[in-house]
Chain A
Amino acid sequence: MTTTVAQAEEGTASPYALSHLDSLESEAVHIFREVAGEFENPVILFSGGKDSIVMLHLALKAFAPAPVPFSLLHVDTGHNFPEVLAYRDRVVAAHGLRLHVASVQDYIDRGALRERPDGTRNPLQTLPLTERIQSEKFDAVFGGGRRDEEKARAKERVFSLRDEFSQWDPRRQRPELWNLYNGRHAPGEHVRVFPLSNWTELDVWQYIAREGIELPQIYFAHDREVFRRGGMWLTAGEWGGPKDGETVEKRLVRYRTVGDMSCTGAVDSDAVTLDDVIAEIAASRLTERGATRADDKMSEAAMEDRKREGYF
């Protein structure tokens, strides 16, 4: 029995009140089913990070006992954590899913993209992603973005219309009225869909705990060779570190988000279980991105600019 009736003070809840997790789960399932009913060729962006894992879990629940009627797409920066890639491949095999991989490395090898001086590849994901959306004619693309992550995302819609260049125009977004999502689009355009729009980081973790969802081990405390750069602990590796003056040390760390090795920082932590992680996050005074993502610190308008270009 996963449904829990919310505990609340007398007079504030009826036996029919859903708990916050049940409300969010029900809403996300509704979003998946709307897309299945209205689009020809949807795809789920799947990175092996916790948000995309929760998205896939919700999609599996939404269509059970039938298989998920969407394929998966991973934009591989070439700097992914091996544990995460292994997890990705296990999940795809376990559920008989079809996985598309768009590779940043291929683009660099072909000369279609150039390595940045700082070595980070996150901003390089946009082109392989948008070209794959065009070539596969995906008309709905599920992303794990949450509106609590960053200020520009607070204005994002659950159904976010993108033009044929995948660009996001904040003034062209459609109002979200009731739960009547409007997914109509012209040929060549597509809609980005964010089923976790209303979830917070804590909601995601609580849901993972409630549902017993397995995660890659790097989300839990482990000993790792890291070095300090830009105020973050980065994993040493061929991707570009450590450089002169940076020293590697072994620390007990975990990751709060999983992205490109070059811009995803680990945090000092001794949280080895889900409960430990949830307690740590609940007590944390740093937002998830602020603590661990170098790319969001660029400027006040950084995320807004990258969304306009077609970033997630």
Chain B
Amino acid sequence: MSTITSEELSATTLLRFATAGSVDDGKSTLVGRLLHDSKSILTDQLEAVERASASRGQEAPDLALLTDGLRAEREQGITIDVAYRYFATPRRRFILADTPGHVQYTRNMVTGASTAELTVILVDARNGVVEQTRRHAAIAALLRVPHVVLAVNKMDLVEYRETVFAEIAEEFTAYASELGVPEVTAIPISALAGDNVVDPSANMDWYGGPTFLEHLEKVPVSHDLAHCHARLPVQYVIRPQTAEHPDYRGYAGQIAAGTFHVGEAVTVLPSGRTSTISGIDLLGEPVDAAWTTQSVTVLLDDDIDISRGDLIVPTKDAPATTQDVEATVCHVADQPLTVGHRVLIKHGTRTVKAIVRDIPSRLTLDDLSLHPHPGQLVANDIGRVKIRTSEPLPVDSYADSRRTGSFILIDPADGTTLTAGMVGESFAAPEPVKDAPDDDGWDF
């Protein structure tokens, strides 16, 4: 029975993070251990796991069963798709996007990382940095996840030796820096034995850093808004047209980036009309300023024509609009994406027709080599695409803004989500990719 302090019930921050790693690296055990040791597993869940483990003839409760949700997975002992898990400590609330790490599940890792502020990459201390680790690092770098944690697991199987950990940490950090990953925190753990997951390890007194959970609790969750371009995609126009509010006209949306102030001069894209913010309504209360990711309703001085799909931006900091979008994409559908493919593109709250003009290259994540003109991208492929849109879109570079620099491609015939796209350069680093020998000069 844990005791609850009043502190635990007060407002805390929320961290969304994602895991990457395979069954063999002990990912399910790490997640199970995290939930178990942070006392987030409740009695009946543990009993259910014990019952299921016993019925299969397993002696100890299998913590991985806590997280494997679907019958197909339990029968095959694998994890499919992304599962979302929830736990809390007195310091913070957590949402974990738990993604399988097999090679064919790149799309799931991309999905999990797209909303994550931190990614955990798991390695087996006996194997060190392997091809899959490099793949996971590349996805974290492509998705511009602000914080990366390298969890070096199974330290108990290498006698808790510092040199083993240090070598792996050094090799990984060098690789990740090459990709432009802004920050790597390496932590030596044993998920099975519990070392450094929640409680500090008595077996590794050479390690002076935080435990895995302490790090999750302390990592900064919000960004310095001073350097963000303010962006508000309009979701819906609120017009009560009632006796009480005959002339109310509010533009509702969730601020995708930056800060807006009452009195600020704004431009509406793609029309380019300008006005001034006369009021900001924060879910029922007037405020002077609002920032990402608050859902607000903005009122303007002038009665201009604005509808769903428009983007409100500061006049002094408006993005260019374009009908030619070049991006790095991850293809997530079973049917391939081909040159000439007619699609829909959803960017912010705007969905327009588009055509895939070119697929300049495909990227191999294992060694970051480029393969020019693959002709198509299949499920789990990462590549560059050039898209021509039927109407101008105010896209930002994904490096500047994860929400207004991202888009999805949709199949107009059946509505399938085909592709996840990130506008602009692939990696933060200047040139981490290697040209394949037969490269014809496409610059990534």
Contacts and interface: CB of A to CB of B under 8 A. Distances in A.
Interface stretch (B124-132, B186-194, B260-268, B407-415): B407-415
Please list the 3 inter-chain residue pairs (A to B) with the smallest Cβ-Cβ separation, ordered nearest first. A290-B44, A184-B415, A19-B11
Contacts, number: 239
A37 B88 contact: no
A37 B349 contact: yes
A62 interface: yes
Nearest to A282: B4
Contacts of A1: 285
A222 to B, nearest CB: 24
A66 B238 contact: yes
Contacts of A286: 42-44
A5 B294 CA distance: 12
A282 B283 CA distance: 28
Interface string A33-63: 1101100000000000000000000000111
B403 A65 contact: no
A24 B14 contact: yes
Interface string A248-286: 000000000000000000000000000000110011111
B177 interface: no
B225 interface: yes
Interface in B314-364: 332, 344, 346, 349
Interface stretch (B17-25, B149-157, B213-221, B382-390): B213-221
B1 A283 contact: yes
Given A34-B349, A176-B82, 17 more contacts: A2-B285, A8-B13, A14-B220, A18-B222, A22-B11, A29-B283, A36-B236, A64-B281, A66-B239, A175-B107, A175-B417, A179-B403, A182-B417, A184-B415, A186-B414, A283-B3, A287-B44
A135 interface: no
Contacts of B344: 184
A167 B13 CA distance: 36
Interface in B265-286: 281-285
Contacts of B2: 283
A19 B69 contact: no
5 contacts: A18-B14, A66-B242, A175-B111, A178-B115, A200-B86
A24 B293 CA distance: 10
B70 interface: yes
Nearest to A158: B84
B378 interface: no
Interface of B: 1-4, 8-14, 42-45, 48, 52, 66-72, 74, 80-86, 88, 91-93, 95, 107-108, 110-111, 114-115, 217-225, 235-236, 238-242, 244-245, 248, 252-254, 259, 281-285, 287, 291-295, 308, 332, 344, 346, 349, 402-403, 406-408, 410, 414-417, 420
B408 A12 contact: no
Most A Cβ at <10 Å: residue of B42, B91, B218, B223: B42
A18 B81 contact: no
A198 interface: yes
B280 to A, nearest CB: 12
Contact of A278 (B9, B346, B416): B9
A9 B221 CA distance: 12
B285 A301 contact: no
Given A16-B225, A66-B240, A151 B69 contact: yes
A185 B410 CA distance: 11
Interface string A147-172: 11001101100000100000000110
